[in-house]
Structure 1
Amino acid sequence: MYFSATIFTMLGFPIPTLTSLVVAVTNFIFTLAALFLIDRVGRRRILLWSIPFMIAGLLLAAFGFSLVKLSLTTEGDSTARSAAVTILVSIMVYVAGYALGLGNVPWMQSELFALSVRSLGSGIATATNWAANFVIGLTFLLLMEALTPTWTFVLYAVVCVVGYGLIWGFYPETAGLSLEAAASLLEDDNWGVR
């Protein structure tokens, strides 16, 4: 989201800010959808359903970047134009998956903490979320230059795969549970994950 205008400029879109607005609207629509779905579907389930879309979007973007030379304009080059559109669509798929799951769930995790540590746990979770956000913002352009855009997006897909495995293995489902029952999930050895 931070660098979409930069990416679309590199890809030769004539109005990169307008193209970035399409991504922002996708984020807005799927964030609204998440707000309606998250309590019905459940936090764990929505993460497990949405992260594969993030992975697919990132891998599709990597594929699109492998087809285009960023130093060239897409004007008159049908392969480059197709790759640019592929990258735009893939980023929209990624953002939709992100907005449904990881864009919302980390902000709605306080019920996992017992009342005695709820504010501390929520504070640490929020700080972790912003720290990860800071690291991505700080390193994205450096990684694009050092690894190439293709491998940067592959790296992010790998991070999502690892995250998916961690969520599958450790993140409990809280749908339908009272606050007391949800807070007690982390007391078990299996953390309430079946």
Structure 2
Amino acid sequence: MYFSATIFTMLGFPIPTLTSLVVAVTNFIFTLAALFLIDRIGRRRILLWSVPVMAAGLLLAAWGFSFIDIAATDAADDAPSQPPPARGAAVTILISFMMYVAGYAMGLGNVPWMQSELFALNVRSLGSGIATATNWGANFVIGLTFLLLMEALTPSWTFVLYAAICAVGTGLIWKFYPETAGLSLEEAASLLEDDNWGVR
């Protein structure tokens, strides 16, 4: 989302900022939906459903970028119109971004901010601080390396790499992340005391 206006300019959208707004509105709508659904569906289940949607959106973006000649779009700054196949690929990429952001807003955009319930009261502030720093640190690394990866790996392979990270994340959530919906704070904090972290 940080670079969506840059990407949509590169793809030849006539008003890239307006196109980015479509992605931002998708984020807003699905964040609201997550706030209503997260306790009904459960944190673990919503992550196990939404992270694969993110991976699918990233793979769709990778496929869309395979039809775009980035070198040609960089060279043709004064010619925003793309040939018909590239226009279709650009729309595919826009849809893939909306799909990714919808999955993100439903799961990883919300659930990590509820992690304090997993920590015992005597370490809750420290645990929450470390978890938040980790979250923002990962965000910083992605923001710092995204454009470099786009140049080094090509856009398609960059998005394939991010999809692979989502796939690994899905496996880790399935293996380790306990369900805390419907539990009291004390019950949720006690989950990490089990050998299997409360994962059945």
Q: Give me the TM-score of the superposition, normalised by structure 2.
A: 0.95
Shift of 1:140: 0.2
- Aligned-partner Cα distance in 1 for 2:63–2:82: 21
SS in 1 for 2:108: coil
| Equivalent in the alignment of 2:61 | 61
Q: Structure 1 residue runs of 4+, over 4 Å off? A: none
| Equivalent in the alignment of 1:175 | 181
Q: Give me the TM-score of the superposition, normalised by structure 1.
A: 0.98
| Equivalent in the alignment of 2:88 | 82
SS in 1 for 2:69: coil
Task: Spell out, residue by residue over 1:33-76, the C-alpha distance to the aligned partner (whole angstroms, 9 max, x if none).
Answer: 11111111111110001011101000000000001112236625
Task: Spell out, residue by residue over 1:159-187, the C-alpha distance to the aligned partner (whole angstroms, 9 max, x if none).
Answer: 00000000000000001111111000000
- Aligned-partner Cα distance in 1 for 2:80–2:199: 48
Q: 2:121 aligns with which of 112, 115, 126?
A: 115
| Equivalent in the alignment of 1:157 | 163
Contact 1:74/1:80, CA 8 A, preserved across alignment: no
May I ask how many residue pairs the two structures share in their alignment? 194
Q: Could you list the runs of 5+ residues in structure 1 that have no partner in the other structure?
A: none
- Aligned-partner Cα distance in 2 for 1:51–1:129: 16
Q: Could you list the runs of 5+ residues in structure 2 that have no partner in the other structure?
A: 74-78
| Equivalent in the alignment of 1:7 | 7
| Equivalent in the alignment of 2:130 | 124
